Structure 1
Amino acid sequence: MVSPKVAVVTGASRGIGKGIAIALGGAGYTVYLTGRAGSEDVASTPLQSAADAVTNEGGEGIPVVCDHGDDAQVRALFDRIEAEQEGLDLLVNNATCLPRALVAQGGFWERSLELADMFNVGLRSAYVASAMAVPLMLDRPQALIASVSFFGAVTYFHGPAYGAQKAGLDKMMADMALELKPLGIAALSVWPGFVKTEMVLQRWSGTPEGEERLRTYESPALTGHVVTTLARDPELMSYAGQQVIVAEYATLHDIREPDGSQPVSLREKMGDPRPFHMTHSI
């Protein structure tokens, strides 16, 4: 009997991380979902709920309380996986610090310095998790490290701290890909569009302006299905080091939203100058 593939999705209590974890569950993965809330805290409910959703889809969801700003907790996570599994097939770096100051008014010098926390949980945390994951990925076919980034890497969005974090993440994945290719491990960035996360829905639902805005937003499930398809794509290694735009990859592989609609790429609107995967066309 073939053992299920094993994945780690960081920051999976809600939003894009949860959407990715659930999609992987539908593909039969054993998924370790991380979140910061303590298991005895009422706030832990979203993490457990996300893990249950993975299991309900046919996989196995394993919730793990983990603060990705604490290296010891991250080490404990990967030590646990090493003890419980034969290896690791997929790491999704999604955990990101989102300070309230991110949407505050004013220049970066007028806003809280907590914005720089994104360099810790968001950039450094992806480096740490990737470094700890690679030893568990050796000799695993189609092993993949996918980091969730955004168009803010190449255009102004939420200010310099946010942009630098995303640009740094993309560069880091590109450089990791060069070192990992000889080992048969792919590393890449995934760029969703604007996504209907719980936070976004809370902010924009219920008004004509908000509903019109949400009409063009992607579901978290879309990124989930793209990551799941990428992980089993026979041409996965040809994407290594690149920035895979969710809407464009979805169009290429006829991956649709739950309502059957086709997502639209933000490339033109957000000003990304780089071509999507030179060997592929849409």
Structure 2
Amino acid sequence: MMTQPPVAIVTGSSRGAGRGIATALGSHGAIVYVTGRSQKEGQASMPGTIHATAAEVTAAGGQGIAVACDSSKDEEVAALVERVIAEQGRVDILINNACAIYDELSMPGNFWEKPLKIGDMINVGVRSGFVASWHVAPHMVKQDRGLILFTSSPGAMHYCFGPAYGAHKAGMDKMAFDMGVDFADAGSKVAAVSIWMGALTSERLLEMMAAEPEKFKHLEGQLESTGLTGHVAWALYNDPKLLDYNGKTLVGADMAKHYGITDLGGQFAPSFREATGIAPVEYGAYKVK
């Protein structure tokens, strides 16, 4: 039986979804390692730092620990996990949220008309999530319990911001499935899942909506808080039936409703599946190893 609060790592948590997820986990009493590159305001185009998020985690009731980590650098990710194990002796929840998102991603134009750097989100996203999971997995398997969660979106199944964005989201979903197969084959009680988040109350989207209200009018009343996925992650981790979700891509709003987790205005978050009929891929059971 655990004698300490669950230990979580949330990558890319200076702002946006990561910040909300980290703070939500903190509200449940978790020890949360907040990672990212922004240590001072002004270092990024959007506000937010790892230290501010860590303070919010602690204020929410948990313990926030800020760690500067560039998820594009394997050695920094390795050092992060080594530090967590040295200080806490375990990792219970890993939220793979780090991603390189540039302002140009959402600008008009075809993918070849935008800077090549927008492709970085495939590296700082898919690959960095694999690297973090690779370092965390042996510890979770040894302790025979854990949750690896990838933050994804319906952009995995429909066009949204172009091929780099789509490849990133589809990659997260498939990686969760394949990791889940390996965890199951190992007979472990570790689960890997991918969560489709909705349109979030992130600093970036709120700024975009304020700048072009007509363009984003359809999102009025359709937003999901950045913290919802953190509450869903907590519910999943504590669910005795966690392994039933291993390898699956889940719609966050649907899971929140399943667990009775309300969101903005005390209402259940709007479900993309219900609104559009678009659902995550059900990957096949056939495998070659």
- Give the aligned partner of residue 13 of structure 2: 12
- Structure 2: gaps spanning 5 or more residues: 283-289
- Give the aligned partner of residue 116 of structure 2: 113
Q: 1:1-282 counterparts in 2 under 5 A?
A: 2-38=3-39, 41-43=40-42, 46-140=49-143, 142-181=145-184, 182-205=187-210, 209=214, 213-274=219-280
Return the alpha-carbon distance in structure 1 between the equivalents of residues 25 and 112 of structure 2. 41
CA distance 1:15–1:268, change in 2 (3 Å): same
Q: How far does the alpha carbon of each residue in 1:8-39 deviate from its partner, in whole angstroms, 9 at most, with x for none? A: 0001111111111111111111100101024x
Give the Å deviation of 1:138.
Answer: 2.6
Deviates more, 1:157-166 or 1:198-207: 198-207
- Give the aligned partner of residue 280 of structure 1: none
Return the alpha-carbon distance in structure 2 between the equivalents of residues 7 and 194 of structure 1. 24
Residues 155 and 271, structure 1, Cα contact 8 Å, conserved in 2:
no
Residues 198 and 253, structure 2, Cα contact 8 Å, conserved in 1:
yes
Give the Å deviation of 1:212.
Answer: 6.3
Find the residue that maps to 1:205 and give its secondary structure. Answer: helix
**TM-score normalised by length of structure 2:** 0.89
How many aligned positions are there? 275
**TM-score normalised by length of structure 1:** 0.91
- Structure 1: gaps spanning 5 or more residues: 277-282
Q: How far does the alpha carbon of each residue in 1:136-167 deviate from its partner, in whole angstroms, 9 at most, with x for none? A: 21343541000001111111111111111111
Find the residue that maps to 1:255 and give its secondary structure. Answer: coil
Q: How far does the alpha carbon of each residue in 1:59-94 deviate from its partner, in whole angstroms, 9 at most, with x for none? A: 100001000001111111011112101211010000
Give the Å deviation of 1:269.
Answer: 4.4
Return the alpha-carbon distance in structure 2 between the equivalents of residues 270 and 153 of structure 1. 14
CA distance 1:104–1:128, change in 2 (3 Å): same
Report % sequence identity.
42
CA distance 1:269–1:157, change in 2 (3 Å): farther
CA distance 1:271–1:121, change in 2 (3 Å): farther
Deviates more, 1:266-275 or 1:153-162: 266-275
Give the Å deviation of 1:43.
Answer: 4.1
Residues 8 and 32, structure 1, Cα contact 8 Å, conserved in 2:
yes
Return the alpha-carbon distance in structure 2 between the equivalents of residues 189 and 261 of structure 1. 23
Return the alpha-carbon distance in structure 1 between the equivalents of residues 281 and 74 of structure 2. 36
Compute the RMSD of aligned alpha carbons: 2.1
Residue type matched to 1:246 in 2? G
